[in-house]
A and B are shown apart, each in its own frame.
Chain A
């Protein structure tokens, strides 16, 4: 009886550990650094999930024409994206979902809306 309880207890703990270990962070997820320090703490930082994009596009579609292969090398701001640069080249409502007030939380998913 005691052993059975212990097994169940261990199983529950392991299940919990397993689910917590299976986070959404995949190798290559990039949290875009914040350019405008005055907006720190307002909106969660945008996270670029590399793997979701790799499923549909080869590396050389974006690199190095749209994005340099260096985090922080490109000055990606919402103003630039609204101008149709960077992400908005595809995220225009035709190739992929449009950048707008309906879709903020699809990209701004960083858990901690920390400083840049």
Chain B
């Protein structure tokens, strides 16, 4: 009859607790009872601070390296990818392999603009006037200067009056001076066709068949 005794004891404890509650035992007595039954009961008026729980991992975490950051380096690209060599080859050439600019313009191989702004490009003023310059007693060396081919490229004030006066035959033009970079030599031999292209290009009479 062991369990009966146990039940009697438990009943007694419960009865004592109820009796204590009913008679209204003091806070100190209640505390004593609580301390007898439970551990770590804080004194009255105080709360036990909660202890932080530090959990330990059961195994070492696997180290994963961060994914490599892809830096996209833009490959170098030249700004202008013009095939100048092919363009140079395509331009019409004169007798010595220089570029024949007059032919290039006439053939339509190039269409050079007349101003920087393509939308407000003025019409190039072309003057169809040939000037005949004949040295004294040397009709074979007569030079025919075509204004037309020159004014297709240049404006009047590029040459007049700084390089040439506006009077045919007024300037003492000679081949020596042209070689020295005066008169025609301001451009010819530097950017325009040079002497090796052949005399007949200016001295038209020399081109006639002998």
Q: Which residues of A does B touch, CB under 8 Å?
A: 24, 26-28, 49-52, 54-61, 63-64, 69, 89-90, 95-98, 102-103, 106
Contact = CB atoms under 8 A, between A and B. Distances in A.
Given A57-B116, A90-B116, A106-B80, 4 more contacts: A57-B113, A60-B154, A63-B154, A106-B79
B85 to A, nearest CB: 8
Contacts of B116: 57, 61, 89-90, 95
Interface stretch (B64-72, B133-141, B183-191): B183-191
B194 to A, nearest CB: 6
B112 A57 contact: yes
Contact of B88 (A26, A56, A60): A26
A58 B79 contact: no
Interface in B44-94: 78-80, 84-85, 87-88, 91
B158 A60 contact: yes
Secondary structure at the B interface, as helix, strand, loop or mixed, is loop
Contacts of B114: 58, 60-61
B150 to A, nearest CB: 9
Nearest to A70: B186
A56 B101 CA distance: 12
B151 to A, nearest CB: 9
Contacts of B87: 55
A71 to B, nearest CB: 8
Nearest to B114: A58
B191 A28 contact: yes
Q: List the 4 shortest-distance A-B pairs measured between CB atoms, nearest first.
A: A28-B191, A60-B155, A97-B79, A59-B153
B110 A55 contact: yes
Nearest to B159: A69
Contacts of B193: 27
Nearest to B80: A97
Given A58-B153, A103-B79, A106-B78, A63 B158 contact: yes
A114 B116 CA distance: 33
B2 interface: no
Interface string B109-152: 01011111000000010000000000000000000000000001
B98 interface: yes
A59 B78 contact: no
A16 to B, nearest CB: 17
A56 B112 CA distance: 4
A102 B79 CA distance: 8
Contacts of B26: none
Interface string B172-210: 000000000000001100110110000000000000000
Contacts of B110: 54-56
Max chain B Cβ within 10 angstroms of own Cβ: one of A24, A50, A54, A56: A54
Nearest to A21: B97
Given A51-B99, A90-B116, A60 B191 contact: no
B157 interface: yes
